[in-house]
Amino acid sequence: MDLLSVEAREAGRSMEAPACILELLGMLVYVGAWLCALASTILPQWLTMSTSLLPIESYDLGLWETCVVQDIGGIECRSYDSLLGLSSDLKLARILMCTALTVGLLGILVAIPGLHLIKSCKDYDGHQTKRTLTITGGVLGMMSGVLCLVPVSYIAHMAVMHFFDEKVPDVVPRWEFGDALFCGWAAGFLLMVAGVIMVTSSRCSQVERHPVPQRRSQAKSMDRNRRKHSEYV
């Protein structure tokens, strides 16, 4: 039985390697995507606008401030004067992006104790707890990705609607996509990918742990058969 336990332990370690790799990959993508979402929330380049009347200047619109950028390198930003004076689009985008960051950070904090590299909860119940934490962190990551994609896509949709509005004369300048929108799209997509990877890694660890009890039961049955055979002899 000692030899069997050593063999089962070694097999379990070798089988945990793919799950550990998936967990590390998912956590790296998770943290990078969250930082990308944070940058998208802070950056003022959600929408940009340049006019032919003032070719040396362009305007940036963000969630927290507006900026005037000059070709010579100067930039001047001013935060919004009043929260009540904001449009409903910016209010909704602020709320959803802050919620996405909060849910994503909570998912990271929940998923970290569930990693196999964290030396804790090594018994069977502990493994179940770690698996639950990993799945919860992955689900929170996917929720954070959806919450990040909604405001970014909505602002982009409104910009497209205004850009192709036939009621607005062609001489009137229009808002176009800024760098923060593309950063937000990348963050939302990567958050969802990270969540899927975390959930998949927990599923892999669950499948890999089944053969060990099965081998032990087979060994016990073989031992019983040998004892019965020796008694008959």
Percent of the chain with pLDDT over 90: 33
73: left (phi over 0), alpha (psi -120 to 50) or beta: left
First to last CA, the chain: 24
The 10s digit of each residue's pLDDT in 128-155 is 788 888 899 999 999 999 999 999 999 9
The 10s digit of each residue's pLDDT in 6-43 is 444 444 444 456 667 888 888 999 999 999 999 999 99
4 pLDDT tier (thresholds 50, 70, 90):
very low
| Cα–Cα distance for residue pair 196/218, rounded to 1 Å | 35
212 pLDDT tier (thresholds 50, 70, 90):
very low
| Cα–Cα distance for residue pair 126/190, rounded to 1 Å | 29
Question: What 8-state DSSP symbol labels residue 78?
Answer: E
Residue 103: pLDDT above 90? yes
Residue indicated by tokens 């009043």: 82
Mean pLDDT along residues 107-131: 74
Beta-strand ranges (E) seen in 46-100 are 47-50, 57-61, 65-70, 75-79
The 10s digit of each residue's pLDDT in 37-86 is 999 999 988 998 877 666 678 888 889 988 888 877 778 888 887 777 78
Which residue would you say has higher pLDDT here, 224 or 8? 224
